[in-house]
């Protein structure tokens, strides 16, 4: 399915009355933001910073996305962005009539203290405790669609997230005497599949130059940086570029070398209620269980993203200031498909997004 066909926009009817904070919170959830912390007349939207992103730049991007959608959803409301430093680095979204302030705050950059590792260790600890008590465990991961991934008589749980050699993706490996089940764990709000300098850098360069030649994309020089070979220019893109991958590229990025067909991916931000145990039988409820490409939810379809990162200098790409990534579809085109990006097909030809 083409991404231009599934990029949709869902907007509420215009509000004519003064909004309540509950209505604003509900609107944010409809946009896809689940980690919301309301306090008095302030709502904090908590977002996961993708690997390699700067906190400020990513928060600003999310802020702009929320601002645009809020104005569409509530055209009668007076909505603005206030850059007063009292709200923090990126300021705040102000709904003047409703007297509501929206702040974008981060849960942390993906790394030792956030999306992956905390989730991995929590899962591994719980399953290890069952094995320690009973000697083995029968473990089933299941999602709302009924998709399952399981292992019987597991006797060992290892956290493997540090081993990324040869494109390995597993965060946790469950083992029995006859089987290994490698599992990659993604939190609900994780949006990056992987950095892609090596895998996609050369092709990204071709597409950037093609779009620039057509006058669709501008490369804007923002400075220089010193290298062993002398100073080089640093650029930024006039817009982010989202590229449809080939099926082969998508499989490599999502499943790596170790998840298909032996294991798979589970998407969940684990909480105690997601685990059900009866003796040594453990069921883990997930948002999604992915063992093959047909299992991938539309929100998590993989796309290539070219974005600005002034500190990046990929030798494969050869344009300092630009970072190629494999990300989820919602990261690429926005939660509702309304993000202002340049959308192209596998060959770098512009695809019109009907929702922009």
Domain boundaries of the chain, sorted by first residue? 15-109, 115-189+248-297, 192-246+299-344
Contacts of 319 (CB under 8 A, 6+ apart): 205, 208, 219, 235
pLDDT of residue 49: 58
Write out pLDDT tens, residues 228-265: 788 889 999 999 999 999 999 999 999 998 898 889 99
Write out pLDDT tens, residues 200-211: 999 999 999 999
Buried-state track 33-53, b at ≥16 Cβ within 10 A, e below 16: bebeeeeeeebebbbbbbbbb
Q: Whole-angstrom Cα distance, residue 227 to residue 313?
A: 10
pLDDT at residue 26 is higher than 80: yes
Contacts of 351 (CB under 8 A, 6+ apart): 2, 3, 4, 244, 343, 344, 345
Higher pLDDT, 122 or 137: 137
For 241, phi then psi, to 5°, come to -115, 130
Considering the chain, what is the average pLDDT of its residues? Answer: 84
Higher pLDDT, 235 or 49: 235
Write out pLDDT tens, residues 294-312: 999 888 999 999 999 887 8
Residue 50 pLDDT level (bands cut at 50, 70, 90) = low
Cis upstream peptide for 249 (omega within 30°):
no
28: left (phi over 0), alpha (psi -120 to 50) or beta: alpha
Whether residue 230 contacts residue 149, with contact meaning beta carbons closer than 8 Å, is answered with: no
Give Rg (Cα) of the chain: 22
pLDDT of residue 118: 59
Q: In a 10 Å sphere around its CB, with 0-12 CB exposed, 13-18 middle and 19+ buried, how is residue 115 labelled?
A: buried
pLDDT of residue 19: 82
Whether residue 127 contacts residue 139, with contact meaning beta carbons closer than 8 Å, is answered with: yes
Q: Whole-angstrom Cα distance, residue 344 to residue 95?
A: 35
pLDDT at residue 196 is higher than 90: no
pLDDT at residue 125 is higher than 90: no
Furthest C-alpha separation in the chain: 65
Q: Whole-angstrom Cα distance, residue 147 to residue 164?
A: 26
pLDDT at residue 135 is higher than 60: yes
Whether residue 127 contacts residue 140, with contact meaning beta carbons closer than 8 Å, is answered with: no
% of residues, the chain, pLDDT over 70: 87
Residue 52 pLDDT level (bands cut at 50, 70, 90) = very low
pLDDT of residue 115: 42
């Amino acid at each position: 399915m083409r991404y231009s066909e599934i990029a949709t926009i869902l907007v509420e009817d215009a509000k004519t009355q003064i909004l309540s904070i509950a209505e604003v919170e509900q609107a944010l959830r409809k946009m896809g933001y689940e980690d919301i912390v309301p306090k008095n007349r302030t709502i904090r939207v908590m977002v996961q910073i993708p690997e390699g992103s700067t906190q400020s730049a990513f928060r600003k991007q999310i802020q702009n996305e929320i601002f645009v959608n809020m104005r569409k959803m509530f055209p009668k409301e007076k909505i603005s962005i206030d850059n007063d430093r009292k709200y923090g680095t990126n300021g705040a979204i102000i709904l003047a009539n409703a007297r509501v302030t929206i702040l974008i705050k981060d849960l942390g950059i993906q790394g030792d203290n956030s999306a992956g590792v905390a989730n991995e260790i929590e899962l591994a600890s719980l399953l290890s405790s069952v094995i320690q008590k009973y000697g083995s465990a029968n473990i089933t991961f299941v999602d709302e669609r009924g998709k399952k991934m399981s292992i019987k008589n597991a006797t060992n749980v290892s956290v493997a997230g540090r081993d990324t050699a040869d494109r390995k993706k597993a965060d946790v490996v469950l083992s029995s005497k006859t089987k290994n089940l490698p599992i990659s764990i993604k939190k609900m709000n994780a949006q990056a599949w992987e950095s892609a300098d090596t895998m996609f850098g050369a092709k990204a360069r071709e597409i950037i130059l093609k779009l620039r030649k057509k006058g669709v994309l501008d490369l804007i020089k923002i400075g220089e940086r010193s290298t062993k070979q002398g100073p080089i220019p640093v650029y930024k893109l006039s817009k982010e570029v989202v590229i449809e991958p080939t099926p082969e590229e998508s499989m490599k990025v999502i499943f790596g070398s170790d998840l298909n067909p032996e294991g798979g991916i589970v998407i969940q931000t684990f909480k105690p209620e997601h685990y059900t145990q009866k003796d040594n039988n453990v069921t883990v409820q997930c948002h999604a269980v992915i063992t093959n490409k047909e299992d991938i939810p539309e929100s998590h379809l993989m796309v290539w993203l070219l974005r600005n990162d002034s500190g990046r200098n990929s030798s494969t790409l050869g344009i300092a200031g630009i970072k190629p990534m494999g990300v989820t579809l919602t990261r690429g085109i926005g939660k509702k498909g309304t993000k202002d990006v340049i959308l192209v097909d596998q060959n770098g030809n512009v695809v019109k997004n009907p929702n922009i």
